[in-house]
Amino acid sequence: MEKSSLLDYLPILIMFGIAAGFAGLILFLTHVVGPRRKTRVKLEAFECGIEPQGNARVPFSIKYFLVAIIFVLFDIEIIFMYPWAANFKVLGILGVIEVFTFIALLLVGFYYMLSKKALKWED
Amino acid sequence: MTAFILYKSIICLAIFILSLTVAAYASWWERKLSGFLQDRYGPNRAGKWGLLQPLADGGKMLFKEEIIPNLSNKFLFVIAPGIFIITTIVAGVLIPWAPPVKIGDTYYAMQATDIDIGVVFLLGVTSVGVYGIMIGGWASNNKYSLLGAIRASAQMISYELAMGISLIALIISAGGTLSFSEILQVQDAGYANVVWQPLGFVIFFVCSLAETNRAPFDLAECETELVGGYHTEYSAFKLGLFLFAEYMAMFVSSAVMAGFYFGGYNFPFAAELYQAMGLEEGSWIITLIGFTVYFAKTLLFISVFMWIRWTLPRFRYDQLMNLGWKALLPLSLLNLAITVVVEFIRGNIQF
């Protein structure tokens, strides 16, 4: 296809406007309509009926953080493959060899990650 | 220029209204189908067959009390559902719903826009949806919400990897284009992409189940452990927006699947049928038929999503993570290798 111009992105902006307008309207309406009978207990954090114990801003398992970091690494590397996928006919066999070398390097990192038990959840 | 903006605005508005309606009635259809699968009636009080149920639900949500907990981060708490629904609506902007219609001498595409990085744009926008969940769960300052939000975001980012790689394989099968409309056009004359990408389709399907937080991957809101998950503290229409956005995400991913892997508005022997009916290219009847076909495929996928919910039990969290990282990720790389070999055989990659 021909190169897309900046004008092609205008509908996305329009859609964003519609969506933001809709979300704003609903959030405003639900704030205005509806009864307001606030009590102290009602505004407490919900903990199945017992009194809330402390703050919810507590430390959580480091595993989730690890997953997030590994995701960032891998996701960036996957994005690198998209230009190849869009031009694989032009790049031909050379492109295939290069990309699969890249994937092999990626898999070495993946193996290292697994051997360090970064994704071991059951313990 | 004004005409262009007007035409694009109409298309955008039509897509918006379509996705709103489908999202609302998907909730009705889910309950009806669940009723059928469990041998009970489902909603049948509001209107004929309970058809007015989504409106009644919406009205009820609007007239409920809005509660913003004392300890919550109020600004973030309020905007989180907004972020979530905006991203899901914007994600639907690229879908070409029907073949272009010819008015006068110009062809009008039944698609809001056709940017040449469509697939990357889709991945980008859908991943912003994680922020809505994460912000909502964190800002509630509730332990259940926090756990639900962390679970949901870890799950969504884990499955995005396999999804991204299966899409790379799809792009190669489609001849190296990132544009939505071209991926659909490739399937016009030849086979649907699922013929070249059976494994890729399965991976993509499982990933979209996980991305939309649908069963069997609904750990973020499994009510036996986490009450409501990340939206435990939400009430009134803010809760409604979260639920709405989930149905809308399901609609968008069904439409993407139907378009990428099952030909979208194309169907077998379409050209022969149009010829037999004496229709010229660009006729509005073709557009109408194409839209109906695409829409039917999308609804079929939505129904499969709901069917799966009542068929498979929920995963345990370590099983979920192992499936995403240790099964689907290597499998999608394998699928990529297979795709390249197939492209050699098809002669699309030269020595």
For residues A18 and A15, give the distance between their C-alpha atoms in angstroms, rounded to a whole number: 5
Does residue B52 form part of some domain?
no
The answer, yes or no, to whether residue A2 has pLDDT greater than 60, is no
Q: Give, rounded to a whole angstrom, the gap between the first and last alpha carbons of chain A.
A: 52
> What is the model's pLDDT at position A4?
60
For residues B258 and B22, give the distance between their C-alpha atoms in angstroms, rounded to a whole number: 15
For residues B138 and B21, give the distance between their C-alpha atoms in angstroms, rounded to a whole number: 30
Give 3-state DSSP helix, strand, coil % of chain A, rounded to 5: 65, 0, 35
Among A78, A99, A123, most B C-beta atoms within 10 A, so best to mutate, is A78
Does residue B120 form part of some domain?
yes
Question: Is A89 within 8 Å of B349 when comparing Cβ atoms?
Answer: yes
Q: State whether residue A108 sits within 8 Å of chain B by CB.
A: no
B305: nearest Cα among B34, B6, B13? B34
Amino acid found at B66: E
Question: Is A15 within 8 Å of B89 when comparing Cβ atoms?
Answer: yes
The answer, yes or no, to whether residue A85 has pLDDT greater than 60, is yes
Question: Is B90 within 8 Å of A19 when comparing Cβ atoms?
Answer: yes
Among B71, B125, B207, B328, most A C-beta atoms within 10 A, so best to mutate, is B71
Does residue B17 form part of some domain?
no
Does residue B13 form part of some domain?
no
Total tally of structural domains belonging to chain B: 1
The answer, yes or no, to whether residue A75 has pLDDT greater than 60, is yes
For residues B175 and B346, give the distance between their C-alpha atoms in angstroms, rounded to a whole number: 11
> What is the model's pLDDT at position B166?
92
Both tokens of A30, joined, read 């639900």
Find out whether B41 and B35 touch, Cβ atoms under 8 Å. Answer: yes
Does residue B14 form part of some domain?
no
For residues A46 and A49, give the distance between their C-alpha atoms in angstroms, rounded to a whole number: 7
Find out whether B323 and B315 touch, Cβ atoms under 8 Å. Answer: yes
Does residue B167 form part of some domain?
yes
The CATH number of residue A95's host domain is 1.20.58.1610
For residues B115 and B178, give the distance between their C-alpha atoms in angstroms, rounded to a whole number: 9
Question: Is B16 within 8 Å of A60 when comparing Cβ atoms?
Answer: no
Total tally of structural domains belonging to chain A: 1
pLDDT tens digit sequence for A103-113:
999 889 889 98
Q: Give, rounded to a whole angstrom, the gap between the first and last alpha carbons of chain B.
A: 47
Model ipTM?
0.87
> What is the model's pLDDT at position B176?
82
The pLDDT profile of chain B, 351 residues, written as one tens digit per residue, is 788 888 888 888 988 998 889 988 998 999 999 999 999 988 888 888 888 888 888 888 888 888 888 888 888 888 889 999 999 999 888 888 888 888 877 777 778 788 888 888 888 888 888 888 888 888 888 888 888 888 888 888 888 889 999 999 999 888 888 888 888 888 877 788 888 889 999 999 999 998 888 878 887 776 667 777 788 888 888 888 888 888 999 999 999 999 888 888 888 887 788 888 877 777 788 888 888 999 999 999 999 999 998 888 888 888 888 888 889 999 999 999 998 888 888 877 776
The residue written with tokens 């994005």 in the block is A79
Q: Rounded to whole angstroms, what are the CA distances from B166 to B160, B260, B304, B329, B331?
A: 10, 11, 20, 9, 9
Q: Is the dihedral of CA A22, A28, A33, A34 positive or negative?
A: positive
Domain that holds residue B294: 68-345
> What is the model's pLDDT at position B154?
87
> What is the model's pLDDT at position B61?
87
Question: Is A88 within 8 Å of B343 when comparing Cβ atoms?
Answer: yes
Q: State whether residue A82 sits within 8 Å of chain B by CB.
A: yes
Both tokens of B224, joined, read 């036996």
Round the average pLDDT of chain A to a whole number and report it: 83
The answer, yes or no, to whether residue A12 has pLDDT greater than 80, is yes
> Of all helices (H) and strands (E), which one includes residue B98?
strand B98-103
Question: Is B113 within 8 Å of A11 when comparing Cβ atoms?
Answer: yes
> What is the model's pLDDT at position B302?
92
> What is the model's pLDDT at position B222?
67
Which chain B positions have a beta carbon within 8 Å of A122's beta carbon? 318
Name the more confident of A54 and B182.
B182
Both tokens of A47, joined, read 């903990």
Domain that holds residue A93: 6-115
CB-CB: which of A1, A8, A57 is closest to B182?
A1
The answer, yes or no, to whether residue A46 has pLDDT greater than 80, is no
**Burial label, B276 (beta-carbon count in 10 A; 0-12, 13-18, 19+):** exposed
The answer, yes or no, to whether residue A3 has pLDDT greater than 70, is no
Shortest distance, CA B319 to any CA of chain A (angstroms): 9
Among A27, A42, A123, most B C-beta atoms within 10 A, so best to mutate, is A27
